[in-house]
């Protein structure tokens, strides 16, 4: 029996509710396949600011660094904070930066049973299978200066978009390597007609692509990509882009799947553990304070993030596939949280959705080894 150590950070709002369902699913998989997942929980975000005075304490960061992988919920309050000082978002930004998790994988697939729950005509969604590789530790999120200050002409605000060649190189290389396991097509998304960072991005992407003669590289401007994602989403294979463009495009892309509550993510760097690549796994959605505690949140993005954790960080691809199959079977039977409900489906709570996935796992797998 192999022991794995997971740091579990539920965070704020719906974060703890959805993470709880993901942990239950992991424990069921562990029991079924003979693994133990030892989980250690810690506070992050507003919850940690309230209790510990900081969004991400040194102890929590150390706990994460020593784990095999991190399961993360969501952080953030009801309104974006306009003043300086500790922000709940510092927790996730601090983890990404401190742990050098520069590549954020956001796969987008369409479950056939959910096509009716989307805003799209069915034929448009046929064959959609893409993954966005979002650069996660550079760009506007981390460039300094970043502040609001008083100037002679009045109050001004400044953010800085900064990329080094090396930062662009490693994430583009990551995307090209990933494309080799897929349809060998990479779309690099930028705003090279306006931004210096994007012009460097394009140059470096071209250079890196020469190492991958078997991978086709295309460039697309971000505004045009936002449109193409709706018009011909099936044309995309791997999209690689800078931090903020990736943030925006993936919320958009979640509509192809049917809901923001469906998209998982894996944040990876170069560090490996005894089991695989070290990483942080989180749904792409936020803390949704408006529905926190109501049992309405969709836990599937968190559960699918746990599947990515098994695949990428623990080297357990069969177990990951078992979770994904259980999720697909659950929605195929019409079990839905409100965000993906249709007139004929059965609307259930967050916890009942977790139960439904657990039941499919119990049904579908062979007896324990
Ligand atoms: C995401 C979120 C975060 C981001 C926020 C909470 C800082 O929107 O993971 O997409 O912008 O990266
Ligand atoms: Mn986002």
Same domain, residue pair 123 and 252: yes
Please report, for the domain that includes residue 208, its CATH number.
3.40.718.10
Q: Do residue 196 and residue 325 come from a single domain?
A: no
**Catalytic pick among 4, 12, 33, 141:** 141
251 is catalytic: yes
Q: How large is the average pLDDT for residues 221-236?
A: 98
Residue 112 domain-assigned? no
**Residue from 247, 260, 266, 302 to probe ligand 1 pocket by mutation (most atoms less than 8 Å from CB):** 247
Residues 188 and 227 both lie in one domain: yes
pLDDT surpasses 90 at 83: no
**Distance from the Cα of residue 5 to its chain's centroid:** 20
Q: How many domains does the chain have?
A: 2
Same domain, residue pair 149 and 129? yes
Measured from the Cα of 104, ligand 1's closest atom is 9
Domain of 190 in residue numbering reads as 119-257
Q: Which of 56, 86, 89, when mutated, tests ligand 1's pocket best, judged by the most ligand atoms within 8 Å of its CB?
A: 89
Please say if 141 is a catalytic residue: yes
Query: Ligand 1: distance of its center to the CA of 31 in Å?
Result: 33
In a domain, 108, yes or no: no
Residue 365: pLDDT band (50, 70, 90) is: low
145-200 pLDDT tens trace: 999 999 999 999 999 999 999 999 999 999 999 999 999 999 999 999 999 999 99
pLDDT in tens, 163-177: 999 999 999 999 999
Tell which of 257, 278, 293 closes a domain. 257
Distance from C-alpha of 122 to C-alpha of 56, rounded to nearest angstrom: 43
pLDDT number for residue 367: 53
Q: Is pLDDT at 304 greater than 80 in this prediction?
A: yes
Q: Which residue's C-alpha comes closest to atom 1 of ligand 1?
A: 284
- Which residues form ligand 1's pocket by a CB distance below 6 Å? 76, 89, 92, 247, 284, 286
The rounded Å distance from CA 363 to ligand 1 centre is 35
Of the residues 257, 277, 305, the one at which a domain ends: 257
Residue 363: its pLDDT value, please?
Answer: 82
**pLDDT computed for residue 79 by the predictor:** 76
The predicted pLDDT at position 268 comes to 98
Last residue of a domain, one of 219, 239, 257: 257
Specify the ligand 1 atom closest to the Cα of 76.
6
When the pLDDT of each residue in the chain is averaged and rounded to a whole number, the result is: 96
The mean per-residue pLDDT over the stretch 228-251 comes to 98
Catalytic residue flag (residue 190): no
| Gap from CA of 247 to ligand 1 centroid (Å) | 7
Q: Which of 12, 90, 237, 247 is catalytic?
A: 247
pLDDT digits (tens, 9 = 90+) for 277-288: 999 999 999 999
Q: Do 159 and 217 lie in a common domain?
A: yes
């Amino acid at each position: 029996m192999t022991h794995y150590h997971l740091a579990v950070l539920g965070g704020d709002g719906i974060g703890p509710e959805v993470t709880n369902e993901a942990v239950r699913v992991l424990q069921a998989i562990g029991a079924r396949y003979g693994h133990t997942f030892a989980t250690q929980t810690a506070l992050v975000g507003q919850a940690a600011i309230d209790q510990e005075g900081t969004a991400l304490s040194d102890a929590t960061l150390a706990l994460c660094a020593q784990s095999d992988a991190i399961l993360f919920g969501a952080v953030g309050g009801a309104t974006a904070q306009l003043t300086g000082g500790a922000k709940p978002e510092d927790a996730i930004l601090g983890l990404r930066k401190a742990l050098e998790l520069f590549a954020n994988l956001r796969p987008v697939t369409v479950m056939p049973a959910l096509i009716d729950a989307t805003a799209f005509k069915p034929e448009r969604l046929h064959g959609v299978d893409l993954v966005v590789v979002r650069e996660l530790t550079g760009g506007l999120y981390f460039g300094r200066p970043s502040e609001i200050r008083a100037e002679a002409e009045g109050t001004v605000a400044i953010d800085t978009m900064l990329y080094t060649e090396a930062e662009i190189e490693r994430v583009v290389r990551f995307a090209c390597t990933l494309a080799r396991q897929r349809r060998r097509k990479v779309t690099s998304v930028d705003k090279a007609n306006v931004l210096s960072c994007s012009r460097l991005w394009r140059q470096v992407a071209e250079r890196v692509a020469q190492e991958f003669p078997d991978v086709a590289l295309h460039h697309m401007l971000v505004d045009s990509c936002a449109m193409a994602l709706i018009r011909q989403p099936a044309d995309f294979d791997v999209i690689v882009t800078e931090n903020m463009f990736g943030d925006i495009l993936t919320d958009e892309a979640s509509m192809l799947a049917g809901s923001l509550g469906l998209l998982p993510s894996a944040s990876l760097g170069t560090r490996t553990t005894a089991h695989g690549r070290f990483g942080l796994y989180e749904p792409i959605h936020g803390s949704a304070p408006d529905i926190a505690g109501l049992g309405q949140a969709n836990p599937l993005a968190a559960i699918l993030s746990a599947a990515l954790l098994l695949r990428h960080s623990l080297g357990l691809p069969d177990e990951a596939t078992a979770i994904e199959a259980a999720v697909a079977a659950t929605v195929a039977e019409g079990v839905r949280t409100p965000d993906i409900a249709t007139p004929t489906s059965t609307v259930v709570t967050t916890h009942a959705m977790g139960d439904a996935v657990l039941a499919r796992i119990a049904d579908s797998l062979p007896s324990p080894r």
